[in-house]
Amino acid sequence: MEQPLPSAKDEVVEITRALIRIDTSNDGSGAASANEAPAAAYVARLLAEVGIESRIYESAPGRANLVARIPGRDRSLPALILHGHLDVVPAAAEDWSVDPFAAELIDDMIWGRGAVDMKNMDAMILSVVRELARTGEVPPRDLIVAMFADEEAGGLFGAQWMVDHHPEEFAGAGWAISEVGGFSTTVAGTRAYLVQTAEKGMAWLGLTAQGTAGHGSQTNPDNPVLHLAQALARIGEHDWGSSYHPATRELLEGVARLSGTTFDPADPTPQWEALGATAKFVTGTLSTTVNPTVLRAGYKDNVVPSAATARIDVRTLPGVHHETIAKLQELAGDKVTVERGIEFESMQAPADAPLVSLMGELLREADPGAEVFPYMLPAGTDNKALARLGVQGYGFAPLRLPAELDFTGMFHGVDERVPVAALHFGVDVLAALVRRF
């Protein structure tokens, strides 16, 4: 008897686990900060098995990016990019309950670094396109599968590099979907799915204070450590104001309706409470945020150094990026220089686009009674790179999640895990989307 062809649901769990077992930790230190090549080779083998040709581009030794194009029925339509990143943030094994790279299956969940961010979505994409290829089904438009390096360090060796050096791979693309959207949160007993339609801007900046080195016992009015500390204090005390992006307002108004509360822009506390753990993904969208993340100064207790440095993580609201950088330079003062580093303006895609409408339709079909809302991500994704090519990008990794699971808290956290049932839900929705869009 002829064996039935495996489906996307049959494969997604094992592909997720196999990807997690390939350690692609990215410490952000530069060209040699990660090694995505083994993961890209694994992806290439999976695609080749079903007759999909892919190309691997290395931006530096081991920093591998993979792209494949699947022709659609109407090649005049703008192509849809399904993209993920192969790197993960490092994991301190001693902080975890399990080996973060063993991909253990416990209580019907896959545990490991990347289970949430974002080897789960990588596996869903691969499972769906493999199913299409095995059945011979041709999608309505071209599909471009992209697996990037270096997303966790700004994409300089990944999506940004690909856009700079191989834009031809994305020729004719109009739409893109990737991580950090499409997942559910439970509000007053109702599942609400959040589709990411906007991202804050970002800038990773360096601050350097120069001063006069000397003995720690002497009076020193030109101590660079003090110059730097005073600059950081001014930055930390500055009020950046607050405002509601349309996606944030629509989300909070929807949460108010579901929870039977009233949305007051001056005090959205009832909506934060109704969102529970997911609120941490939304509170950061009300204002520009500036957080010091790294401090370095000195080498001995009794020596005043000649310099002190800091790194700051800046996330800007739409429309205020350049004025924010200018204000930071002013707040730093004349004793501290500001070095520009990785920097991208905010990204916004139409929330009323046909692709978004279809996402909502498919989620409600798969989970009757559910609600779907747009939201703005306080962080960033590789959609920012593709936006430089005019591609409209959205966060849509569909997952139906248990109410008690703090999904958003596991991004870059410990004991990352994703339910098997959520992956099965996700491949069904994602497969429907590529077949109908």
What is the tens place of the pLDDT at every residue in 134-152? 999 999 999 999 999 999 9
Q: pLDDT tier at 5 (50, 70, 90 boundaries)?
A: confident
Average pLDDT estimate for 71-95: 97
CA distance 230 to 335: 10
Name 335's Cβ contacts closer than 8 Å, sequence gap at least 6. 209, 210, 211, 224, 227, 230, 231
Residue 348 has pLDDT above 80, yes or no: yes
Q: pLDDT tier at 2 (50, 70, 90 boundaries)?
A: low
Taking each helix axis as running N to C, give the angle between helix 420-436 and helix 354-366, from 0 to 180 degrees, rounded to the nearest 10.
140
Nearest alpha carbon to residue 20 among 122, 95, 106, 92: 122
Name the least confident of 49-53, 340-344, 361-365.
340-344
CA distance 51 to 435: 19
Question: Residues 36-45: pLDDT tens digits?
Answer: 999 999 999 9
Class of domain 8-179+380-436: alpha beta
Residue 1 has pLDDT above 60, yes or no: no
Exposed / middle / buried, residue 129 (Cβ in 10 Å: 0-12, 13-18, 19+): buried
Nearest alpha carbon to residue 67 among 84, 51, 50: 84
Instruction: Give the number of other Cβ atoms within 10 Å of residue 16's Cβ.
Output: 27
Question: Got the DSSP string for 104-162?
Answer: -EETTEEESTTTTTTHHHHHHHHHHHHHHHHHTPPPSS-EEEEEES-GGGTSTTTHHHH
List of E strands, 25-78: 54-58, 64-70
Name the least confident of 68-77, 94-103, 279-288.
279-288
Tally of residues, the chain: 437
Q: pLDDT tier at 4 (50, 70, 90 boundaries)?
A: confident
Phi-psi region of 297 (alpha: psi -120 to 50; beta: other; left: phi over 0): beta
CA distance 64 to 150: 9
Q: pLDDT tier at 279 (50, 70, 90 boundaries)?
A: very high
Question: Residues 359-409: pLDDT tens digits?
Answer: 999 999 999 999 999 999 999 999 999 999 999 999 999 999 999 999 999
Q: By the 8 A CB rule, do 204 and 313 touch? A: yes
CB half-sphere exposure, 221, CA atoms < 13 A:
0
CA distance 301 to 181: 48
| 331 backbone dihedrals φ, ψ, rounded to 5° | -65, -30
Q: pLDDT tier at 3 (50, 70, 90 boundaries)?
A: low
Residue 179 has pLDDT above 60, yes or no: yes
Return the bridge partners of 185, or none.
Answer: 192
Write down the domain spans for the chain: 8-179+380-436, 181-200+243-286+346-379, 204-241+289-343
Would you state the CATH architecture of domain 204-241+289-343? 2-Layer Sandwich (3.30)
Classify residue 36 by its DSSP letter: -
**Cα-based distances in Å from 343 to 26, 160, 284, 340:** 19, 11, 18, 7
**Cα-based distances in Å from 321 to 41, 90, 288, 356:** 38, 29, 9, 26
Residue 8 has pLDDT above 90, yes or no: no
Q: Could you give the percent of the chain with pLDDT greater than 90? A: 96
Instruction: Give the number of other Cβ atoms within 10 Å of residue 217's Cβ.
Output: 8
Residue 271 has pLDDT above 60, yes or no: yes
The pTM for the full model equals 0.94
Instruction: Give the number of other Cβ atoms within 10 Å of residue 206's Cβ.
Output: 14
Residue 247 has pLDDT above 80, yes or no: yes
Helix or strand or coil: residue 198?
A: strand
